[in-house]
Chains A and B, each alone.
Chain A
Amino acid sequence: MIEVKHLVKTYGDKHAVADISFKANDGEILGFLGPNGAGKSTTMNILTGYLSSTSGEASINGHDILEDPIAAKKEIGYLPEFPPLYLDMTVREYLYFVYELKGCRLPRNTHLKEICELVKIDNVFDRRINNLSKGYKQRVGLAQALVGNPNVLILDEPTVGLDPKQIIEIRTLIKKLGKNHTVILSSHILSEVQAVCDRIVVINQGRIVADDTADNLSRELTADHKLIARIDGPKDEVIKLVQTIPGVVSIVADMQREKGVWEYNIEAVEGTDIRRELNRRLMSRNWYILGLRSSELSLEDIFLKLTMGESVTEFLADKADDLEEHYKEESK
């Protein structure tokens, strides 16, 4: 378990990390999401004891990283942003060194062989690290973190520089590891944390702006009463018709997608479902719905908005205002 309380790190008068608190439970994969320079790496460096915090506490499985650094570090496998590799060593020499450095007691050859098979570097075991591709170097870095089978894995952007196939492999691997390790991984790619993590902590400018499960995060921002419909029919008449549906607040023609087919943003009173009524009325005029979806915000939207310093509620209010304004302009 990783526990972080009111962590602050300042460089001069710049706050790299400003009061971060979170908790990662055993067997949980926690995603650290934020733009570059948000403080992800700094937080991870503090957690692993590479940097010290200006104030606040961080503990790994009950061992405070400042009070009892050796015990805390024993619990951690860390893959920094740049894999810390000795380029003039072979993978074998390097992993043997890490094995000794960590004072590992597991049977060396079988343990390292398992790790190499897990991260698929057994075929380059005797090659110099300098001659390996970026993808392999990254995986050697990951192998290094796994040596000694630590309970907690801290991975700083583990998939950077890998090709799509390798990314999927590493993600699968992390998911697998997450079953019996506590994993914190950072990324600035949403789809990645969404695919791998149980919980997401969004961090921006050294502060946590959201901390929830991936599903909750998007559910919170879903708007079921707002629809985006692609309708085949004369634009003005469609608008008039839809406005007569009880509960509809506004309809705005967004843009023509195909010839004679427009996409409309329809907003109804919150909590009302107008999809069936919409269908029926359009059918009676022989106009067709070619596409219908609720205007759910993608995590991308959420992320961009959150990291621009707005809270979720502010953002939703903004979105509603935008729509209203848009509608006013349209009606003029």
Chain B
Amino acid sequence: MTAILKRETRAYFDSLIGYIFLTAFFAGSGILFSVSSLQFGSTDMSGMYSGLFYILLVLIPILTMRTLSEEKRQKTDQLLLTAPVSIPSLVLGKFFAAMLIYSIGVCMTLVYAVVVSFYGVVSWLTVLGNVVGLLLLGAAYVAVGMLISSLTENQVIAAIGGFACMLALFLISAIASIIPVPWIANILTNLSFGERYSPFTYGVFDFSNVLFFVSATVIFLFLTIRVIERRRWS
């Protein structure tokens, strides 16, 4: 797993994707930070954290699009799958590499908090809760992106497909609001990534939401492993 983790991390910076992702992440969070906090002279950073949700919709697919699709296209999956490495550790290696790059981006938001702390009182617990929320959301998104990437040989399809899926997971709550049957609407609302993420930005650290994102990550990673295994049998 560590071999794959190391290679993937390198590959992010060899192929520009890592730089593009981080640049866009810093730019997005920077703009949101200026608009929602600096502009109002406020130490409340929830505006930036809730705004990042939408930016991630676009950025995470870029991070995950080539993880598995490119291996298939270049036939390098033959090396990985015939090496004495299990498929779960292969998928996890790639997952953690993507998470590593993503975490660098998330850590940048802490820099903003430090800057603000010079001018006012920052509620560090809230910031910490937000960072954890952002990491959990990112993990689930990365898992979704990897699943889509495992289904195709084409990076562009992987990116667009990933974006579409994440958008769908986000829009579930909008669909829920127009469904007249209350219990269905209730289930859908509870499955919405947006509804689950927003409490973090209010400073509410609900353990059920943590569990939700962790389970979502595990489920999508599990499905990714199954897709790769299934390909052997088809």
Q: Which residues of B contact A85 (CB under 8 A)?
A: 74, 76
Q: Does A102 contact B (CB under 8 A)?
A: yes
Q: Which residues of B contact A101 (CB under 8 A)?
A: 3-4, 79-80, 83, 85
Q: Does B179 contact A (CB under 8 A)?
A: no
User: For the complex, what is the distance from the CA of A86 to the CA of B234, rounded to whole Å?
Assistant: 26
- Check A80/B233 contact, CB under 8 A, given A49-B81, A49-B82, A101-B85: no
Contacts of A80-102 to chain B: CB distance below 8 A: 80, 82, 84-89, 93, 97-98, 100-102
Contact of A84 with B14 in the complex, beta carbons under 8 Å? no
Q: Does A144 contact B (CB under 8 A)?
A: yes
User: For the complex, what is the distance from the CA of A89 to the CA of B13, rounded to whole Å?
Assistant: 12
User: For the complex, what is the distance from the CA of A50 to the CA of B77, rounded to whole Å?
Assistant: 9
Contact of B75 among A70, A80, A100, A144 (CB under 8 A): A80
Contact of B84 with A73 in the complex, beta carbons under 8 Å? yes
Contact of A103 with B74 in the complex, beta carbons under 8 Å? no
Q: Which residues of A contact B233 (CB under 8 A)?
A: 52
Contact of B84 with A80 in the complex, beta carbons under 8 Å? no
Distance of B79 from chain A, by nearest CB (Å): 4
Contacts of B132-155 to chain A: CB distance below 8 A: none
Distance of B228 from chain A, by nearest CB (Å): 11
Q: Does B39 contact A (CB under 8 A)?
A: no
Distance of B83 from chain A, by nearest CB (Å): 5
Q: Does B114 contact A (CB under 8 A)?
A: no
Point out which of B3, B81, B82, B86 has the most chain A C-beta atoms below 10 A from its C-beta: B82
Contact of A84 with B6 in the complex, beta carbons under 8 Å? no
Contact of A84 among B3, B74, B85, B232 (CB under 8 A): B74
How many residue pairs at the A-B interface have CB separations less than 8 Å?
A: 66
User: For the complex, what is the distance from the CA of A71 to the CA of B75, rounded to whole Å?
Assistant: 23
Majority secondary structure of chain B interface residues (helix, strand, loop or mixed): helix
> CB-defined interface of B3-18 with A at 8 Å, one 1/0 digit per residue?
1101100110011000
Q: Does B78 contact A (CB under 8 A)?
A: yes
Contact of A98 with B79 in the complex, beta carbons under 8 Å? yes
Distance of B182 from chain A, by nearest CB (Å): 46
Closest to A147 in B: B83
Q: Does A262 contact B (CB under 8 A)?
A: no
User: For the complex, what is the distance from the CA of A115 to the CA of B189, rounded to whole Å?
Assistant: 58
Q: Which residues of B contact A316 (CB under 8 A)?
A: none
Distance of A169 from chain B, by nearest CB (Å): 23
Q: Which residues of B contact A320 (CB under 8 A)?
A: none
Q: Which residues of B contact A51 (CB under 8 A)?
A: 232
Q: Does B2 contact A (CB under 8 A)?
A: yes
> CB-defined interface of B45-89 with A at 8 Å, one 1/0 digit per residue?
000000000000000000000000000001111111111111000
> CB-defined interface of A24-63 with B at 8 Å, one 1/0 digit per residue?
0000000000000000000001001111100000000000
User: For the complex, what is the distance from the CA of A263 to the CA of B189, rounded to whole Å?
Assistant: 90
Q: Which residues of A contact B81 (CB under 8 A)?
A: 49-50
Q: Which residues of A contact B15 (CB under 8 A)?
A: 88
Distance of B232 from chain A, by nearest CB (Å): 5
- Check A70/B84 contact, CB under 8 A, given A84-B76, A100-B6, A101-B3: yes
Q: Does A202 contact B (CB under 8 A)?
A: no
Closest to A51 in B: B232
Closest to B232 in A: A52
User: For the complex, what is the distance from the CA of A144 to the CA of B79, rounded to whole Å?
Assistant: 9
Q: Does A74 contact B (CB under 8 A)?
A: yes
Q: Which residues of A contact B6 (CB under 8 A)?
A: 97, 100
Q: Which residues of B contact A102 (CB under 8 A)?
A: 83-84
Closest to B76 in A: A84
- Check A97/B14 contact, CB under 8 A, given A76-B82, A86-B74: no
User: For the complex, what is the distance from the CA of A82 to the CA of B75, rounded to whole Å?
Assistant: 7
Q: Which residues of A contact B76 (CB under 8 A)?
A: 84-86
Q: Which residues of B contact A80 (CB under 8 A)?
A: 75, 78-79, 82
User: For the complex, what is the distance from the CA of A74 to the CA of B14, rounded to whole Å?
Assistant: 30
15 inter-chain pairs at a CB distance below 8 angstroms, sorted by A residue, are: A45-B78, A50-B232, A73-B84, A76-B82, A78-B82, A80-B75, A80-B82, A84-B77, A85-B76, A86-B11, A86-B74, A87-B74, A97-B7, A101-B4, A101-B79
**Further 18 A-B residue pairs, CB within 8 A, beyond A86-B76, A100-B6:** A45-B78, A49-B81, A50-B78, A70-B84, A70-B86, A76-B82, A80-B75, A82-B78, A84-B74, A84-B75, A84-B76, A84-B79, A86-B11, A98-B79, A98-B83, A101-B4, A101-B80, A102-B84
